[in-house]
Amino acid sequence: MQIDDLLKLDIKLLVSFEIILEECSVSRAAERLGVTQPALSKSLQRLRDLFKDPLFTRQAYGLSPTSRAYELHEQITPILGSMSNLLQPSHFDQSTLKRRFSIKADEELLLTFIEPLLALLHYQAPNIRLTSSSWSDNGYDDLINGVDLGIVNAESTPNNIRSKMVGSMDACVILSEAHPLYFQDEVTLKELLAHKTVVFNIRNFQSATTSVTIEKLEQLGYVIEPKIETDSIAVTIEAVKRGMALIGSAQLGELFSNISSCRENYTSIKVLPLPADAVAADPYNGRHPVQICWHERYDKDPAHRWFREQIINFMQSSPWVYEN
C-alpha cells in the first residue's frame, strides 16, 4: 500500500469525476453537486494532474471521456459503492449468526434466564456458541479483556462499562428439616446466626450489594461466620440437606424446593422470608438490584445488542425479578 499516493485521493475528487463522466458537462455536474462551475473546474484540473491524463476532451455537444477515463470509471465505481455501503447499517440475522458469546454471572442469577436462552440458541440462533463462568472481583477487568456480558448484584459500574438495571430479586432463608429452626414459621436474625450456615457466592466481589449488606450487619453486631463458603450448587445442596441454613434468592429457594419434591427420600425443604430484623438492617430491604453490564466497545454492535436484549427480556419476564 502506497500511503502517500492514497493520501492524494480525495473522495470528493472521485465523486466529482463520476458525476462529470455521467453528465459530460462541468456546468451540469456542478449543479448536481451543489458547487460552482469554477470550483468544479479546479477539481477537474486536480484529477488531470493526479491521473496524468486529460480525462475529458471538449466536443460540440460537451465533454467526451478519454479511454483512460473509461478505465478509471470501471475501477472507481465499485470503490465508491463499497464506501457507500460503509454508511449503511449492517444486516443482522440471528439465524445465520456465527459467534461465541461469553457470560460471567453467579449461578443463581444464571438460573433466571438460562432455560429460555438455551431454547433461543437451539431454535432461533443455532450457530451461536455460549460460555459461562462465575463473576468475581476481576469481573469488570474481564469485560475489558473480551467477556461479552456480566450479570451482577451491584448498583453502579466503572465509567468504561455500560450497564442496564434489570430489576431486583428478593432474598429468602432456605432450611431443611434437619435444621433446628425448620418447624418455625419465622425466624430472627439472631436465631439464624446461632446455628450453622452455608454461604453460596455471597462474598464474590467487593462492590456486590451482598457485601454491602454483610458490612452493614457486622456494624450492627451480626457477624456471619459460615461453616461452608462455596460457589458450587451441589455443595450448597448437600450443606442444606445436612442442616445448614442458606440465605439466597427466592429463585434459589424454589430450585431447592423442586429438588426436594422430585427426589425420593430427600430431606424436606422450607423457604422462609428473611427475618424482619435482617430486612430492617439491609440497605436494600431484602430486595437486591440486578444489573447486566458490558464494555462500551460492544454498545452499538447489532449482534451484541440483540443478545443482551434477549437476556434482559428473559430476566424481566422471570417471576423472581421485580422492576425497580
Would you call 141 helix, strand, or coil by DSSP? helix
Query: In terms of Cα–Cα distance, which of 38, 35, 47 is closest to 11?
Result: 47
**Statement: residue 249 has pLDDT above 80:** yes
- 236 shares a domain with 146: yes
pTM for the model stands at 0.70
What is the percent of the chain with per-residue pLDDT over 70, rounded to a whole number? 93
Query: Is pLDDT above 50 for 1?
Result: no
Which pLDDT value is given to residue 99?
92
d(CA 308, CA 162): 12
| Residue 114 sits in the same domain as residue 239 | yes
Q: What value does the mean pLDDT of the chain take?
A: 86
Is pLDDT larger for residue 88 or for residue 217?
217
Instruction: Please tell me which residue, 209 or 148, carries the higher pLDDT value.
Output: 148
Same domain, 82 and 95: no
Are 295 and 301 a contacting pair, CB within 8 Å? no
Q: Among 52, 86, 120, which residue terminates a domain?
A: 86
Q: Whose CA is closest to 275, among 172, 136, 196?
A: 172
Per-residue model confidence as pLDDT tens digits over 99-143: 999 999 988 888 889 999 999 988 999 999 999 988 888 888 999
Task: Summarize the confidence of residues 140-148 as an average pLDDT.
Answer: 92
Same domain, 219 and 308: yes
Are 192 and 324 part of one and the same domain?
yes
At residue 139, the pLDDT reads 87
Decide which of 257 and 3 is more confident: 257
Instruction: Decide: 99 and 303 in contact? Cβ < 8 Å.
Output: yes
What residues make up the domain containing 102? 90-324
Q: 231 φ, ψ to 5°?
A: -115, 20
CA–CA distance, 199 with 209 (Å, rounded to integer):
15
Bigger pLDDT: 3 vs 129: 129
Q: State phi, psi for 175 to the nearest 5 degrees.
A: -130, 150
* 99 and 22 within one domain: no
- Give the chain's domain count: 2
Q: What is the pLDDT of residues 215-237, one digit of tens each?
A: 787 788 888 788 888 888 888 88
Question: Residue 286 in contact with residue 278, Cβ under 8 Å?
Answer: yes
Tens-place pLDDT, residues 191-202: 988 999 888 765
Percent of the chain with pLDDT over 90: 33
- Give CA torsion, residues 31, 35, 41, 42, to 10 deg: -170
Burial degree of 244 (CB within 10 A; 0-12, 13-18, 19+): buried
Under the banding of pLDDT at 50, 70 and 90, the label for residue 209 is confident
d(CA 251, CA 108): 7
Give mean pLDDT, residues 273-280: 88
Q: Out of 53, 86, 119, pick the residue that ends a domain.
A: 86
The CATH number given to whatever domain includes residue 135 is 3.40.190.290
Mean pLDDT is lowest, of 44-48, 86-90, 303-307, for 86-90
Same domain, 40 and 100: no
